Copies of this chain bind each other. A is one copy, B any other.
């Protein structure tokens, strides 16, 4: 948690932003997250506070709510002190008043007074992503349960995005700490993996590093011998020599800031020739994308920079053919690179996506492309200094997708399906880094972590 003045300043800035949009009264309501039951009410997942609550109020106890009265500019924390009975089980705790002070919050009130406080006021809230919060908002606002998401305040959404997407120096320090811990997760796995081990063993090792850092993984790790399955959350396969291992995993600091990295390494000591060739293209695509980052430049350009390198590289391998500029414009490369080059990262690993991916990643009024591949680009808008972005190009041989495209005769002018046959079992490659947009370009976050072929084979003991 930061100093109380940090949260006071953020709330003051939010009030100003809303005022600039013509909103001078009403209540900006921030329901904090509650415990999330696993298989019964008392057996809960590890608590994760809502990120906007963390940003404006700093506190990470379950079951709180907070509000900003926009007319009086006063903030109120709604929460209950623990009973003497509870104290036996939980140990002594800071009072709600003390907790409010630690975040510079003006008033502290019992949770039972929240509905009275909200009654007959204009309520501004962010879209809920948990049903218990949606039900709470329905009760507080009198809106029908199903209508709650639609009643979220677009002004509040835009104001919160505008603030949270530009990281303060103190936030960058925390993010860099998360990235360092994420690097530890990766190095532990890369230096330990051996043929015969299970994916679960290596996921467990990554998990251990994240928990040792004091936080937890920022998302469910992908730790797989089948990197061509993009969202592979099973851990049942065994590592075999000659194959590849893809780890997409990051840590979160104890106060909620994320890291997010991907590595692809050989399960033997060295990449074989084809793996080496494809991996190098992915590295080159990442370099091209990160070099395309500069204030004012749409992130879509970084995406296309990576896509062009990938297409050219695959043409060099005989897998694509023809005019690669046209191929990229038409989306043919998406057979191999079907996702976007990256996303914002901060208090959420896909930062701010709870507020609507389109609002976070696209200029107001602009729509996503419907083109396969491009429609998965989460971040397209011009970047600004202080933004944190992932750069994560990949090349995948997705057998099901190859079959469909081949059957449909799709992009036969660009794709050499005959040559592709002998490559289709090669798997999936991705390299992901976290970058900070500077005044002039971008800087990779975190301690040194060399992803070159020589370095990766070095970690593997070659």
Q: How far is the CA of A397 from the CA of B400 in the complex (A)?
A: 61
Quick check: A36 and B45 within 8 Å, CB to CB?
Answer: yes
Interface residues of A in 19-58 (CB under 8 A from B): 36-46, 48, 50-51
Q: A88-B401, A350-B40, A400-B88 are in contact. Are A201 and B212 (CB under 8 A)?
A: yes
- The answer to whether A211 touches B220 (Cβ under 8 A) is no
Question: Contacts A135-B135, A207-B208, A211-B203: A338 and B37 contacting too (C-beta < 8 A)?
Answer: no
Please state if B132 and A131 are interface contacts (CB–CB under 8 Å): yes
Report the bound CA distance from A46 to B221 in whole Å. 10
Q: Which of B235, B349, B398 contacts A214 (CB 8 A)?
A: B235
Q: Which of A42, A48, A210, A226 has the most CB of B within 10 A?
A: A42
User: Which of A63-71, A89-97, A379-387 contacts its partner?
Assistant: A89-97
- Is the CB of A2 closer than 8 A to any CB of chain B? no
Is residue A231 contacting chain B, with contact meaning CB distance below 8 A?
A: yes
Q: Could you tell me if A41 and B354 are in contact, using CB atoms closer than 8 angstroms?
A: yes
Q: Is B91 within 8 A of A43, CB to CB?
A: no
Pick the contact of A40: B88, B236, B354 (CB < 8 A). B354
In the assembled complex, A205 has its CB within 8 A of some CB on chain B: yes
CA distance A207 to B221 in the complex (A): 14
A88, B348: Cβ atoms under 8 Å?
no
A204/B211 in contact, CB under 8 A: yes
Given B92, B208, B349, which contacts A204 in the complex, CB threshold below 8 Å? B208
Please give the distance in Å from A354's CB to the nearest CB on chain B.
4
Q: Interface residues of A toward B: which range? A: 35 or more
A117 within 8 A of B: no
The reply to whether A39 and B45 contact each other, CB–CB distance below 8 Å, is no
Q: Contacts of A231 on B, CB cut-off 8 Å?
A: 89-90
A69 CB, min distance to chain B CBs, angstroms: 26
* A120 close to B (CB within 8 Å): no
* A214 with B200: CB separation less than 8 A: yes
Q: Which of B39, B219, B338, B401 contacts A50 (CB 8 A)?
A: B39
Min Cβ gap A158→B in Å is 17
CA distance A92 to B207 in the complex (A): 27
Q: Is A145 an interface residue (CB 8 A)?
A: yes
Q: Is A229 an interface residue (CB 8 A)?
A: yes
* A130 in the interface (beta carbon within 8 A): yes
In the assembly, what is the distance between CA of A348 and CA of B38, in Å? 10
| Closest chain B residue, CB of each to CB of A215 | B200
Quick check: B214 and A350 within 8 Å, CB to CB? no
Asked if A230 is an interface residue, CB under 8 A from chain B, the answer is yes
Given A39-B348, A135-B131, A226 contacting B400 (CB threshold 8 A): no
Give the residue among A42, A50, A88, A198 with the most B Cβ atoms within 10 A: A88
Q: Hey, which chain B residues are within 8 Å of A145, CB to CB?
A: 135, 145
**A353, B38: Cα distance in complex, Å:** 12
The chain B residue with its CB closest to the CB of A229 is B91
- In the assembly, what is the distance between CA of A46 and CA of B216, in Å? 13
* Complex Cα–Cα for A209 and B214 (A): 18
Q: With a 10 A CB-CB cut-off, give which of A41, A44, A208, A210 has the most chain B CB atoms.
A: A208
Interface residue? A404 (CB, 8 A) = yes
Q: Are B44 and A38 in contact (CB under 8 A)?
A: no
Does A129 have its Cβ within 8 Å of any Cβ on chain B? yes
Q: Please report which residues of chain A, range 350-383, place their CB below 8 angstroms from some CB of chain B when the two chains form the complex.
A: 350, 353-354
CB-defined A-B contacts under 8 Å, sample of 24:
A37-B129, A39-B347, A39-B348, A39-B354, A40-B354, A41-B129, A42-B350, A42-B353, A45-B45, A87-B400, A91-B232, A92-B400, A130-B132, A131-B131, A131-B132, A131-B134, A134-B135, A135-B135, A145-B145, A200-B211, A200-B213, A208-B208, A214-B235, A214-B236
In addition to A84-B400, A88-B398, 7 A-B residue pairs with Cβ atoms within 8 Å of each other are: A38-B45, A39-B50, A41-B354, A43-B348, A88-B230, A89-B230, A131-B135
